[in-house]
Amino acid sequence: MIEPAIGPLRLCLVLSCFNRRELTLACLQAAEASAAQAGLHLHAVLMDDGSRDGTAEAVQQRFAWVDVLRGDGSLFWCRGMHTAMGHALTQAHDHYLWLNDDTLLQPDALAQLAETAQQLRDESKAPVIVVGSTQDPQSGRPSYGGRRRASRWRPTRFELVPPTPAPQRIDTFDGNIVWLSAEAVRAVGNLDAAYEHAMGDTDYGLRAARAGVAVWLAPGFQGHCAENPAAGGFNDRSLPLRARWRAMRSRKGLPWRSWAHFTRRHAGWLWPIYFAWPYARLLLSGLQPRPPQGTR
């Protein structure tokens, strides 16, 4: 059971950042306003992974409620979040919120998430994780949020779930806006530092289900976040095969150690096939003619 806090709920934001000072400051300012509207006691742990643009100093100057940790630039997202979450877990908080530093919360976002989490907890009598959805500020399309498996035959592919007026059960999530109760974290644990950059959030959602923690998508949208461009990545077929192969093996692509760890854990006994397929598909695509320069 949740032990009620004395006074307002104690919420700890958990973030990782690198060289995005203005985005990080805007993110924290929006979160501060949303917490004030919701009547929450707000704290945060921010892992600054070697920023050279003065992010850490600016945050410390403007937001006294943020603990700033410093890395050397080698952590990237998942390991940065693992370190920040580990620090947050040494403190007393009722709930945690994973928040990408390029995500702007709406003024009522935290009130919505708190209310939805409490409602679902009361109904299920079990710990829950509640995921918020973001919109791309330019297109208005859903950009990040909850995800479901595409099919039983594609256990490593997860499709974005558009929010509706009611909460929805989901399989896993993007780590942009994720509300976790302390009891949910006790059941699931920290992010897995085996992941070099991505996949740690997807892995966490799948681990939560195995630990008996239901994962839900909150109604409506809770923030804005631009979609990452596909240009320059390993799926950009306008690039030479060598460049695409290099991008795939990079930390922000599909690094083989992280991908092997994920498929071995979540793809069943056929995991070696699911592991090898993306690399084989990219190499096979090199046999096809590249699209004209400037097209996708």
Does one domain contain both 73 and 220?
A: yes
* Residue 3 included in any domain: no
* Residue 187 included in any domain: yes
Provide the domain count of the chain. 2
Q: Which domain holds residue 286?
A: 231-296
Tens digit of pLDDT at every position of the chain (296 positions): 344 445 689 999 999 999 999 999 999 999 999 999 999 999 999 999 999 999 999 999 999 999 999 999 999 999 999 999 999 999 999 999 999 999 999 999 999 999 999 999 999 999 999 999 999 999 999 999 999 998 989 999 999 999 999 999 999 999 999 999 999 999 999 999 999 999 999 999 999 999 999 999 999 999 999 998 878 899 998 899 999 999 999 999 999 999 999 999 999 999 999 999 999 999 998 777 666 655 44
Distance between CA 41 and CA 251 in Å, rounded?
36
* Residue 56 included in any domain: yes
Rg of the chain (C-alpha set):
19
Does one domain contain both 72 and 184?
A: yes
Does one domain contain both 218 and 243?
A: no
Distance between CA 205 and CA 86 in Å, rounded?
18
Distance between CA 98 and CA 185 in Å, rounded?
12
| Residue 72 C-alpha from the chain's centroid | 21
Distance between CA 82 and CA 204 in Å, rounded?
11
Does one domain contain both 56 and 157?
A: yes
Does one domain contain both 134 and 96?
A: yes
Q: Flag whether the pTM goes above 0.85.
A: yes
- Strand pairing report for 154-160 and 214-217: unpaired
Give the end of a domain, one of 191, 224, 257: 224
Give the end of a domain, one of 202, 224, 246: 224
CATH classification at residue 153: 3.90.550.60
Does one domain contain both 154 and 254?
A: no
Residue type (1 letter), 199: M
- How many CB atoms within 10 Å of residue 56? 21
* Residue 88 included in any domain: yes
Minimal CA–CA distance to 225: which of 139, 152, 127? 139
Q: Residue 197 to residues 102, 128, 160, 249, 267: CA-CA distances in angstroms? A: 16, 25, 20, 12, 19
Does one domain contain both 217 and 253?
A: no
The string of DSSP letters for 9-53 reads: -EEEEEEEESS-HHHHHHHHHHHHHHHHHHT-EEEEEEEE-S-SS
Does one domain contain both 159 and 249?
A: no
In degrees, rounded to 5, the angle at the alpha carbon of residue 101 between the alpha carbons of residues 222 and 143 is 45
Give the end of a domain, one of 224, 255, 274: 224
Hey, what are 70's tokens? 């410093």
Q: Which long-range contacts (CB under 8 A, 24 or more apart) does 123-126 make?
A: 124/214, 126/212, 126/213, 126/214
Does one domain contain both 136 and 35?
A: yes
* Residue 1 included in any domain: no
Does one domain contain both 238 and 204?
A: no
Does one domain contain both 59 and 118?
A: yes
* Residue 5 included in any domain: no
Does one domain contain both 242 and 148?
A: no
Structure letter (DSSP) for residue 68: E
* Residue 4 included in any domain: no
* Residue 105 included in any domain: yes
